[in-house]
C-alpha cells in the first residue's frame, strides 16, 4: 500500500541555529517544501533584520541541490513597535508573529507579560492581515499544568478575538478537546496546528513504567479523550486544522536530566507518524488536505507543486543521531519501528 500527496509543509518548526540547525535541517527539508520557523532563539528573533540574517543562515545550510523555503516569524515582546510589524508585512519573507506568554515554555522569558502592552503591534497585524501564532497556554503557576490551554482559551484567546475582530490567529500545537472545539466553531480567521505526537500519544506515554523524557513537550500530552478529539479534528476535513510538527530538538543530556527540557524531536519521521495516525483513524484520504493544502490556504500562499510518496513499509528510526558540540539527539520513538516509509 502507498499514498502520494502534494508536497506538504510544516507550519510549526524549531530549527535552532548554527551546528544544531545544520544537524536537523535535512530531515525537514527532505519531507517538507516549506516550514514556519519559530523565532525562539537565544536571543529571540524580534526584528525583520534578524529574521533576514537567520533566513540566510538556514538557506546556506541546506544540503546541495535541496530546495526548502523557510517562512520566517518574529518573536512578539511587550515592546514590539508597530513599525516593525509594518516592515515585516512588507518584507515578503516574514509570514507571521509568534506570541509566547512569558514563562510558558522553552526560551519564552522575553515573551509577552500582558497582551495589552502589545496593542499597537496587534492593531498593525490586524491591518496588515499578518497572523499571530499563539503558544496557547497561560503561564500562571497557580493554574494546573494540564489546564493551562483551556484557561488560555477563556482568558486570552476569546477576549482577544472580540477586541480585534480582524486579527488572524493560529492556535499552535493544540492539545485539548476544548481548544479543538473552539477552533472548529470559529471562522476562517482562526487556524490551528496539531503535532504528530499529540495525535498518536496520550500522557501515559510520559509515565509508563518510569519517566520518559523524550515524550515531554509543551503543551504537555493530555488524556486519551483529548487525543481522540484532536484526531477527529485533524481528520474532519475542516480547513482550519493543519500540520505543524513542533519538532523541537534538545541534546540528549538536556532531555535526560534532573530538569529535562521540553520538546520532542520528530522531524526524522514526522510525516510518517501523521500517516500512521490518519491510517489508524481510517482517514488516510484526509491526510493530503491536512498536510499539504489547509496551511497554505490559511497563510494565503500557493499550494506546492510536486509530490511525496509514502509506502506502508516498516523501517527502524535511529536510536540517536548526531547533534551539536558532539552531543546526540534522540528522536521521539528512536530505535523503534516506523510503519510508513518515505520513498525517494
Ligand atoms: O516543547 C516545546 N519545546 N514547546 C515549546 O513551546 C518550545 C519548544 C522548544 O523550543 O524547545
Ligand atoms: Zn513550538
How many structural domains does the chain have?
A: 1
Q: What would the pLDDT profile of 256-276 be if each residue is shown by its tens digit? A: 999 999 999 999 999 999 999
pLDDT of 29 reads 98
Query: What is the 1 CA–ligand 2 centroid distance (Å)?
Result: 32
DSSP string, 160-176: HHHH-TT--EEE-S--S
Minimum-distance ligand 1 atom for the alpha carbon of 172: 6
Output the DSSP codes for 12-53: EE---SHHHHHHHHHHHHHH-SEEEEP---SS---SHHHHHH
Render pLDDT for 32-48 as a digit per residue (tens, 0 to 9). Answer: 999 999 999 999 999 99
Q: What is the 3 CA–ligand 2 centroid distance (Å)?
A: 28
Q: 240 in a domain, yes or no?
A: yes
What spacing in Å lies between the alpha carbon of 171 and ligand 1's midpoint? 15
pTM for the whole thing? Answer: 0.98
Asked whether residue 107 carries a pLDDT value surpassing 90, the answer given is no
> Whose alpha carbon is nearest atom 10 of ligand 1?
106
Classify residue 324: in a domain, yes or no: no
138 located within any domain: yes
CA distances from 298 to 61, 240, 242 (A): 28, 7, 9
Who surrounds ion ligand 2 at CB < 5 A?
246
User: Is residue 83 included in any domain, yes or no?
Assistant: yes
Any domain includes 230: yes
Alpha helix segments (H runs only) across the chain: 18-31, 48-61, 82-91, 119-128, 148-152, 158-163, 177-184, 196-200, 204-207, 224-234, 252-255, 270-280, 287-288, 294-298
Residues known to be catalytic: 246
The Cα-based distances of 32 to 45, 127, 234, 305, 329 in angstroms read 23, 30, 18, 12, 20
User: Is there a domain that residue 145 lies in?
Assistant: yes
Using alpha carbons, select from 122, 123, 147 the residue that is nearest to residue 134: 122
* 304 part of a folded domain: yes
DSSP letter for 291, please: I
Structural domain of 157: 2-311
Residue with cell 543562515: 57
Supply the CATH number for residue 77's domain: 3.20.20.140
- Residue 172 inside a domain? The answer is yes
Q: How far apart are CA 135 and CA 112, in angstroms?
A: 11
| pLDDT tens-digit series, residues 48-73 | 999 999 999 999 999 999 999 999 99
Amino acid at each position: 500500500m502507498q499514498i502520494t500527496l502534494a508536497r506538504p509543509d510544516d507550519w510549526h518548526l524549531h530549527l535552532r541555529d548554527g551546528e544544531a540547525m545544520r544537524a536537523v535541517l535535512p530531515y525537514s527539508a527532505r519531507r517538507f517544501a516549506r516550514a514556519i520557523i519559530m523565532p525562539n532563539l537565544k536571543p529571540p528573533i524580534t526584528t525583520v533584520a534578524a529574521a533576514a540574517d537567520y533566513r540566510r543562515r538556514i538557506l546556506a545550510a541546506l544540503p546541495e541541490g535541496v530546495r526548502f523555503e523557510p517562512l520566517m516569524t518574529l518573536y512578539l515582546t511587550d515592546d514590539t513597535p508597530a513599525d516593525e510589524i509594518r516592515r515585516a508585512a512588507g518584507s515578503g519573507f516574514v509570514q507571521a508573529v509568534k506570541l509566547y506568554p512569558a514563562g510558558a515554555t522553552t526560551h519564552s522569558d522575553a515573551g509577552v507579560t500582558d497582551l495589552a502592552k502589545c496593542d499597537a503591534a496587534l492593531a498593525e497585524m490586524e491591518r496588515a492581515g499578518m497572523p499571530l501564532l499563539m503558544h496557547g497556554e497561560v503561564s500562571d503557576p497557580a493554574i494546573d499544568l494540564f489546564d493551562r490551554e483551556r484557561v488560555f482559551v477563556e482568558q486570552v484567546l476569546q477576549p482577544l478575538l472580540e477586541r480585534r475582530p480582524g486579527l488572524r490567529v493560529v492556535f499552535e500545537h493544540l492539545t485539548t478537546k476544548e481548544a479543538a472545539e473552539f477552533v472548529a466553531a470559529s471562522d476562517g480567521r482562526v487556524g490551528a496546528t496539531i503535532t504528530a505526537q499529540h495525535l498518536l500519544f496520550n500522557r501515559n506515554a510520559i509515565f509508563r513504567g518510569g519517566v520518559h523524557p523524550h515524550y515531554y513537550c509543551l503543551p504537555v500530552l493530555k488524556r486519551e479523550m483529548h487525543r481522540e478529539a484532536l484526531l477527529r479534528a485533524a481528520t474532519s476535513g475542516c480547513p482550519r486544522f493543519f500540520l505543524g510538527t513542533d519538532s523541537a530538538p534538545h541534546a540528549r543530556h538536556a532531555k535526560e536530566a534532573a530538569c529535562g527540557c521540553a520538546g520532542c524531536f520528530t522531524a526524522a519521521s514526522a510525516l510518517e507518524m501523521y500517516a500512521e495516525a490518519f491510517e489508524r483513524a481510517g482517514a488516510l484520504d484526509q491526510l493530503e488536505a491536512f498536510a499539504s493544502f489547509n496551511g497554505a490556504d490559511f497563510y494565503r500562499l500557493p499550494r506546492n507543486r510536486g509530490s511525496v510518496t509514502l509506502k506502508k513499509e516498516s523501517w527502524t528510526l535511529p536510536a540517536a543521531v548526531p547533534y551539536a558540540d558532539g552531543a546526540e539527539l534522540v528522536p521521539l520513538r528512536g530505535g523503534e519501528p516506523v510503519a510508513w516509509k518515505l520513498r525517494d
